[in-house]
Amino acid sequence: MKKNRLLLVFFLCSAGVFAQSSKSFLLNLYGGYTFSDRVEFDNSYAKVEDGFEYGAGLEYFFIENSSIELKYNRLDTSLPLYGPGGAQLNAGDDKGAINYVLVDYTHYFGAVSQKAQPFLGAGAGLSILESPQSGNGTYFAWEIKGGVKIKTNSLLSINLHAYLQSMTAAVGNDYYWTYYGLVGVTDYVSTYQFGLGACFSYDFTK
């Protein structure tokens, strides 16, 4: 709860700073469906199940067709862990969540006056994994996205998009005998989750 409150305060402070600019400033509300992924370990594997992802962002257009955005998205999901024999090791205690805090760059193609503008974007930041077994952990995260922005005659617009999100975490060490003796190497695993979503945008500066 404390982390969510800090994120809310940060968003509100950012809104106050950006709103003073003459460039476009948008509040974005996100909703989407994120598909599952399987993560392999040495003798076991885990899954991040599919689920509904939601959140909000503050998007600032520093030039007409390009923007930067600070956003927070949350995926409530199940995180089952399976042993070597395929049996689930955490049955009944696998509920968790992934919180993404990202800074995105997005470029929109075509004239600003167009009703529909295709776009591509990418972002990086951190993910906060809420796991029933290991508690909360913070890891590196990134995403790429693409879609189309559909404008209306009001201050509202709708973005329809597809996205790929990834989170990378250290999960232990492997040890190897070398010429110099025993050497430990950190093991990393990554999730890769594809999703489809929509975003409702409100322009504060018009």
* DSSP annotation string for 85-114: TS-BSSTT--EEEEEEEEEEEEEE-S-TT-
Say what the pLDDT of residue 141 is.
Answer: 97
Quick one: which of 96, 128, 126, 94 has its CA closest to 3? 128
State the Cα–Cα distance between residues 193 and 53, nearest whole angstrom.
11
* DSSP annotation string for the chain: -HHHHHHHHHHHHHHHHHTTSSS-EEEEEEEEEE--EEEE-SS-EEEE--EEEEEEEEEEEEETTEEEEEEEEEEEEE--EE-TTS-BSSTT--EEEEEEEEEEEEEE-S-TT-SEEEEEEEEEEEEEEEETTTEEEEEEEEEEEEEEEEE-SSSEEEEEEEEEEEEEEEEEEEEEEETTEEEEEEEEEEEEEEEEEEEEEEETT-
Q: pTM to 2 decimals?
A: 0.80
Say what the pLDDT of residue 163 is.
Answer: 98
User: At 51, which amino acid appears?
Assistant: G
Domains of the chain (ranges; CATH) run 2-203 (2.40.160.20)
Instruction: Scan for tokens 């962002």, then name that residue.
Output: 57
Say what the pLDDT of residue 103 is.
Answer: 97
| Distances, alpha carbon 68 to alpha carbons 50, 81, 181, in Å | 28, 37, 48
Say what the pLDDT of residue 11 is.
Answer: 53
pLDDT along the chain (206 residues), means of 10: 53 49 83 94 85 96 94 94 85 90 96 93 95 80 97 93 91 48 56 96 85
HSE-CB for 7 with a 13 A CA cutoff: 20
